[in-house]
Each structure stands twice: as structure tokens, then as C-alpha cells.
Chain A
Amino acid sequence: METIDALLGGFAVALTWQNLLWALIGVTLGTAVGVLPGIGPALTVALLLPVTAKLASTSAFIMFAGIYYGAMYGGSTTSILLNTPGESASIITAVEGHLMARKGRGGSALATAAIGSFVAGTLATIALTFFAPLVVDLALQFGPAEYFALSVLAFITVTAVLGSSIARGLASLFLGLALGMVGIDMQTGQSRLAFGVPSLLDGIEVVVVAVGLFAVGETLYAASRYKYGADQIIPLKGSLWMTAEEWARSWKAWLRGTFIGFPIGAMPAGGAEIPTFLSYYVEKRLSKHPEEFGKGAIEGVAGPEAANNASAAGVLVPLLSLGLPTSATAAILLAAFQQYGLQPGPLLFQNEPQLVWGLIASLYIGNVMLLVLNLPLVGVWVRLLTIPRPLLYAGILVFATLGTYGYRQSEFDLALLIGIGFLGFLMRRFDFPVAPVIIGLVLGPLSEQQFRRALAISQGDMTVFLTHPISALLLAVSVVALVAPAVWRWRKRFRPA
């Protein structure tokens, strides 16, 4: 059992007191920042990147793992009590959980979300442990053509399947790709799209784009609409101890959510939105109390919340074993790896087993810490929700600029942050999805590198992507993913009523 040995080795790394401390700091920071309204896991990780700048890589990633899971837990608290999901994957939790909170059952909603997150997170981490090495074995067979095709599939599914509009999703993706081209071309040393600005030669940092789009853009949007009224916080009511009936109604939903969330998250297409919606739909169909759905049904919180956390673990499979980010958060984590000169992928498991398995082991530990942090101590986090809005957004801006400046100590980045913030504001106002920008920015240059490598090997023969069977298959799936939703809508529109 190679995997078990590797995992035990990982626990040996993660259980040293320093790394336990970093994990605890990570989950605490992750929960605290994740609870703040409007801040999702992606922004949480981006904001906290400079904090780890001086850490050794293993400790840094153990902390990131904690931040990642912590932000997921924290986000559900906000969704339930405030109805402002920090990311699209908590929309369902926000709907059903908020209705429960309004009926005075906020305690039960928080409990089923936290315990469900723990159950799903732990089961999905086990699945990650055993599944990732299998993907690594497969990935070792991949050449540049396959990697390029895989990145195309990720681009397409992230933009076409998840968003409400393919055109707007593609616009976001191409914007991200264009931003990713800025700087010096790695293979030829040519500067591209840098306009002779020295600061642009090093490229545009993911942190600047993520913080600009999510934090500054969101704050500008909130400021532009603030006088039209703010959200209402529902005070925490109801016991955190679930009744026997609530347990009975929750546990199956947790398990089903896990089984929906992990596989979908682990696919190179990924994302957490689809599994949460799917889980909600499944629970509604299977429930003995379908009439409660839309009025605060506990299964409608338990299932999607489990699916959300399971897919968060699932997303780590393509990220760690293929180097393929399929969510905005994963793209920022990938950038964090690059900051340490590490490239996630099959070779990472061979070259840095301590880091990879230490990270995976700390996910188990972090989950236990988070259950403790989020159930008995939930009252502490709820307090964060009562921060007055002017102070909250002013604080977000200060930390957004700090995160940007702290990363490279560059005033140019601060100016860039303002520009990207306004871009984020426009995207928010006109309903452009933000995640494809981040994924295009991070994955674009990697994709281009594989593309050119494949053509260098084939001596410029473009058919290489179609003659390699795996690559051809992946590209075919991409085309279907791009075209199918459009055809579907077309048929619906022209079907006689």
C-alpha cells in the first residue's frame, strides 16, 4: 500500500507542532475572512498570499490548505445568516439556509452545514488520497498535446457550462488569456503586450487581478448601490444541537452530496456550482417533505453544503496531479505554487512527496479543527457579520491594497489594481463571470507552452492534436461542451409551445 505509506509520511510532516500551528492559523484566518460578506474562498486565498511569503513551502501550503477549507466553512455561515453568498457555489445554501434562519432555525442550519462540511470534506479527502495517485499514473503518459487538449477542455467547461451566457463567459476567458500574455515570452525572450513598461515585463500578477476583480470591483459595485439599502442580518437563533429528526434527515443528504460533489469536482471540467445545484435537485426529489423546499428544508442545506465541500476537495485532484486549475481558487493556489518555483503535476508527487502528502494530511487535520471552530465557536464568527458596512468595506480596501503591495512592493501594481478594480466593477454590473478571467490568466501561458512544445515535437504539424487519441477525445468533448448548450437552447426556443 504505497498510498497509505505516503499518507503516513504526510501525517508525520503535518503533525509537527509548527505545522499544526500553521494549519490552525490557516483555518482560523480562512474562516474569519471567509465569514466576511462578499468574500469567497478565491479572494481569501489571494488576500492571504503575501502573509506566507516568508514561510518554507511545506508550511505555506499547509496553511493554504487550512485557508482554503476554512473559507468554505466561513462562507456558509454568511450565506445562512446574511443571504450574501461569497461565491456562486453557496447560492443554494444562501437560499434554503437563510429561510431556515428566518424561521428561527439558524442554529440547526449552521449545524447541518458545519457537520455536513466535515463529513463531506473528510470523505472527499479520503477519495482524493486514493484517487490522485491513480491520476498521476495516467498523467505520466501525457505529452504536450494531451496537456494542451486538457487545458482547452478546462477553458471551455469553465466558461460555457457554468455561466449564464457563453458569449460573456468567453469574453471573460479571452480577457484573462490576453492579460496572461503580457510580459516576456518564456521561449523566445520577446516582450509581448508590455508597451515598454518595465513593470509589465514580469507579467501581471494573479494576486493583483484576483484582488482587483473580487475585492476592489466588489467594493466599487457595493458603493454604487449602497444607498439603495443593505442586507439584513438574522440573529442566530435556535439550538446548535440538531434534533434526532434533523439528524435523520441530514445524514443521507450529506452522503449523497459528497457522492455528487467529489466526482464532478475531480473532473477536469470541475467547479462547485453544478454539484450544489444537482444535489439540491436530488434532495428535493427524494425528500419526504418536498413541500418544505423553498421554505427552509434542512436537506436543502445539508446536501448542497456537503456537495460544495466535497467538490472543493475534488478540485484538488486535477490541480495537484495534472497542474490543471478548474476554479478561480484553484488557479490562485496554482499561482502560489509557482511563487515557490513549483509546478503542480505528476512530477510534484515524485519530487516533493513531503509537500504534497503533508498538504493532503493537513486537510484531514484542518477538517477536524474546522468542526471545532465552527460549531462551538460559531458565535464569535457571527459577530464579524455585525461590523458596520462602511468600516467593513474600508477595511477590505485597505487589506486589498496591502495584499497587492505586500506581494511585490510595487506602486505600479497599486495603479494596476485600481484599473482592474474598475474592470471588475463593469463585469459585475454587466453580469460577466469573473472566474474565467483568473483561469485564463493562470492557465493560458501554461496552455500556450504545451501547444508550442507539441508543435515543436511534431515539427509544426497541426494534426498532432487529432492523431493522439486522448488529445482528440478531449478536444471533441470540448467542442460538444461548447456547442451543446447553444443547441439545447435553440431547440427549446423553436419548439412549438
Chain B
Amino acid sequence: MSANGTIAVERPPEVKQGWTRARIIGVVLLTIWAALGLGVLIFMVNAWDPDIFARYAPRYLSGLWVTIQLVAVSVICGALLSVPIALGRMSRNKLIAGLAYAYVYFFRGTPLLAQTFLIYYGLGSFRPELQAIGLWGFFREAWYCAAFAFTLNTSAYQAEILRGAVESVGRGQWEAASALGLSKLQTLRKIIIPQALIVALRPYGNEIILMIKGSAIVAIITVYDLMGETRRAYARTFDFQTYIWAAIIYLGIVEVLRNAIDWIELRITKHLKR
């Protein structure tokens, strides 16, 4: 190309330097976030009342404990219950597979709140029958009903996680194991499960986080979990900082869990990194 030759060339748009539009928007938005954060902080400092704190801090802690218990019980019971359901989903028997599918579809297709109402208020319609078989004591308590509903709900989700994880392990692994003379159970325990766990870790972690967030709805059926204590405190004080405290606690738990899952995943996939 000669020095004075001016050939019109279509060039890609130049990469802009300095104060681009993205940068300006970014700084404006960050300023808004900072202002909001500062506003909340100032509000919290202004609204700070040692009396309220002394009265409600222990209640928040006990609420937090109820939330943790509820989630732990339902996730663990749900995990146990999810095994037969996942096996049913993978079964070659059409009837069993269909029943398991219907179970999973029902609990994943309806709101957790509606399921909880169905069990807590709905089973009250069968009070005489439940009393006759001695289960009324269980279904009378809101806490047990919530734990029961959450267990059924999470078991449907966990069954799908389990099924997906087991099916993600290639058929060749089964065939190789049987060629080595391992029994089905041995194959499952020593070859399939360790590989499936890596796939399942993240969905399991997400499910626990979803349960923690979802458990807030028990406040509506008069269980005093973290959300329930928050609503009670707000109803008595009309102080909006009660909700902000709850938000900070929930955000803290979820963030800690999320980072823990990232850390575990990093550790158990070390051998896969190149």
C-alpha cells in the first residue's frame, strides 16, 4: 500500500479507551449500590436500640436454629427417601417407573407453599382417621408437618439429581466392572457412586440452598423459624430493621454455603484438572 493511497477499509469498531459508556454505566450503578448500602447502614445505626437488640437477638438465634434443624432433618430424610424413588424412575417395570414419575412430577410441579398447606391444613380433615391410627399427634404440630412436606418435596428433587448423576456415568463403566467380575452392588459402591458424586455435588448444594430459602415459608404456618421470628419482631416493633437483619443473616448463610461448595468441588475434582 503506497503512502498516499487511501483505500476505504471497513474496520471492526475500535476498542475504546478511557471513559467508555460501559465504564460510566458501571460507575453510576456502583454508586447507586454504594448509596443504597450506605443508606441501609445509616438507617441501621439510627434505628439501633439496645433494648430491641437485647430482646430480639436471642429470638433470632433460636429462629435460626429452628431453620437449620428443619432444613437438616428434611434434607437428610429426603436423601434417604430419594434413593427408592430414583431407583423407581430408572426401573424397567413400566408401572413402578410411572408411579415414581408421577410422584416427582407432582412435587416438582406444585408450589412448596401449597404442598405445606395441603399437609398442615388439609390432613386436618382426616382427624378421626389419623387419631385412629395414632398419627394425629404428629400431624397436629406445625413443625412436623413442615418437616414432612419439605422431606417429600426435596426427595423428589434429590431423586432427579441422583438419577441424573448415576446416568451420567457411562455404560462402559458398568460393562468393564462386570468384566472384572464385580457384582452389581460392588460396581455401584466402588465405581459408579464415586464418579456420580462429582456430578451430583453442585446440584445437591443448590438443593440445600433452595431448601434454606424455601424454609422461610414455614413462618406462614406459625413455625417460629428465622423468618417467623422476624415477622413476629416486625409485628411488635414496626421497625423495618428487623427485616434487614433477617436479610443479612440469610445472605450470609447462602454465601458461606456457596463458597463451601465451590471449595469442595475444587478439592474433589483435583485429579481431573490438567
Task: Indicate whether A and B interact.
Answer: no
Which A residues fall within an 8 A CB radius of B?
none
